[in-house]
Amino acid sequence: MSGGYQLAEDVSLAGRNTFRVPARAEMLADVTRAEALAELFEYAMLRNGPTLVLGEGSNLLLVGDVVPGVVVCMTGAAVTIVEDDGGHALVRAEAGLAWNDLVGWTLGRGLVGFENMALIPGTVGACPIQNIGAYGVEVGEFIETVEAFDRDAGRLRRIARSDCAFAYRDSLFKADLARWVITAVEFRLPRQRELRLDYAGVREELAAMGADSPRATQVAEAISRIRTRKLPNPALLGNAGSFFKNPVLPLAQAEALHAAHPGLPVFGASGATAKLSAAWLIEAAGWKGHREGDAGIAAQHALVLVNHGHATGRQLLDLARRVAGDVHVKFGVALEPEPRLVGATWDGA
């Protein structure tokens, strides 16, 4: 360990990605202190070569056998309340903290807002990149500041929420992944807020739990139960959660599809666009539970691409492309992956 980081060559990443594909890192840097990044990026191989910032590896697919350049892992996982006025608290969490640990930590201190995002895999550092969300809530609405190392400027910066360009599964950071290494995130969380229970299945799960007047902790428990039923456990079956985004279409096209297929769920039909259920489209095209060798689509949920054992990243990507191609032929809708592809592009090689 030197100055807050440790370097190692030719490191297996099989245990550092939830698809559990057998890729290796040409060089791996485990970083314990954000202040060490300026020194680390002075190395020629980092300054000039490709860099991949890796959290839990729960939102990416490693397509090649070797990840070239340097894989950087932020391992700091401290979380503190920076300020608290009684109504709201400002919580600072380092990038290496597991997201679900932060959800439990905040709920345990009477802070609400994250309950709908319980059991989302990944780290705090990844949450602003993807603007993670679930069950009608996105993390961007609670983020006050993102602390990140700016490779272009060679220094740590604090970026206000208004400058983060948050959108559906998108952000300033996602638009330029090579530039940013997120080191910490600060969240403004309330102690009281109207619970969001209207997403499919949430009220029913709460009723089954006997939670007539639910608290935020009970909402988190209900959503954890739903997710556990619907999504395969990556520890048992390699996956990265939902692999396909729900497509957003012009309203007229969405309405025409719904008229032709009345069972197709359509969300947020306000304004000029509407969001369709990718899971419904994939299942209707006959791919749910499909398997080719060790690459497959989960039997529990059509959105989830799975590794049954020894599938490579390339085999998983090839299957995902075939699924998307078939959905496009049958419904005229283009599907896009939610996880990041490392070593390939969705449309190219």
* Rounded to 5°, angle at Cα 259 from 257 and 262: 95
Instruction: Choose, from 20, 144, 171, 242, the residue flagged as catalytic.
Output: 242
Is 169 assigned a catalytic role?
A: yes
Asked whether 196 and 136 are in contact (CB, 8 A), the reply is yes
Instruction: Choose, from 161, 169, 188, 227, the residue flagged as catalytic.
Output: 169
**Phi, psi torsion values for 221, nearest 5 degrees:** -65, -45
Is 56 assigned a catalytic role?
A: no
* Long-range contact pairs involving 267-274 (C-beta distance under 8 Å, separation at least 24): 273/248, 273/249, 274/248, 274/249
Q: Give the residue among 138, 131, 134 at the shortest CA–CA distance from 169.
A: 131
Give just the sign of the alpha carbon dihedral 38, 40, 181, 178: positive
Give just the sign of the alpha carbon dihedral 64, 298, 232, 309: negative
Q: Is 163 helix (H, G, I), strand (E, B) or coil?
A: helix
Catalytic residue numbers, as ranges: 169, 242, 338
